[in-house]
Amino acid sequence: MKNTFPLPPDHLGRRRFLKSGSLLTLASLVWPTRTSAVPLGGGCEPTTDDILGPYYLAGSPMTTLVAAANEPGTRLFISGTVLSNDCQTPIPEARIEVWQANDAAVYDTSAAFNLRATFFSDENGAYAFESIVPGAYLNGAQYRPKHIHFRVNKPGFPELITQLYFDGDPFIAADPWASTPDAAARIIPLNDIGEDQLEGAFDIILDGQVGIKPNRFGTDGDLLPVHPNPMVDRCSIHFNVFHTARVAIHIADMNGRMLITLQDEQLSQGRYTTQWDGRDANGNFTAVGTYLCLLQMDGRPVKAQRIIRS
């Protein structure tokens, strides 16, 4: 069962903390001292990774006020503790980067760094920030649930790239990332604290393994589910590019023989779509059967999806 911090008597502590931009007085000023170090998501497993997404920007400002005071949307307070995987040892000075879509489900990738922030956990491993509830946006043929991206770094621990989701979101069940069983501890309840404000708690458990642990979703790009699949006349292929690279989309048979290259060009960070009409490179229609859609970046294979041609 997921727990949440008890509510403070008023929001004055939050406001003073966020305006100061310091985490040094977090435990006494914002939320009461916790009586247990058990992670809010339950269990004692490290927080699982998730897709980086195409909208990460390095160099976000040092602040805990992720959403400016005039940003439209429901105000959201998120807090938690960064812990080692014994679920007891706090990790101070963990660098936390967060980024998200706005209330209209749009990411700002301008130099303004809107809805992006960097901050550190305090000496007790505690962190907190204020933002707004992000919108759910259409990603290919389906909506992505509302989410906030996290990138957490601390020397001696593998980098964690993950996403935070929210209880009751109707798009979680169909989402290929939020619906995975190990994302359950990253789906948190939100409490209504009045005045169009919500709060939630998210403990981050870092893996105790020293060294580099690759994100299982990769940090280069991602190939989303093909739609429609099975296909008859044509299908749409949606893919994300996380950094500038030479990007190729190939169609191959199940023996790995390349049939056609749909795209092969230098692309910048972003989300893209191409289509396949069932033909090979010679313009001939392929037979009914199963094929592979392959995403390559800078000549390296990133991901493959099966396409059923009926």
Catalytic residues: 107, 137, 144, 147, 149
Alpha-carbon span 229 to 252, nearest angstrom: 16
**Would you call the peptide bond into 230 cis, given omega within 30 degrees of 0 as the criterion?**
yes
Q: β-pairing, 289-297 with 300-309?
A: antiparallel
Beta bridge partners of 192: 198
Which residues, in sequence order, are CB contacts of 181 under 8 Å at separation 6+? none
Q: Are 252 and 292 in contact (CB under 8 A)?
A: yes
Cis previous bond, 228, omega within 30: yes
Residue pair 206/82 in contact (Cβ under 8 Å)? The answer is yes
Q: How far apart are CA 41 and CA 43, in angstroms?
A: 7
Encode 154-190: b = buried (16+ Cβ within 10 Å), e = exposed: beebbbbbbbbbbeebebbeebebbeeeebbbbbbbb
Cα–Cα distance, 188 to 167 (Å, whole number):
5
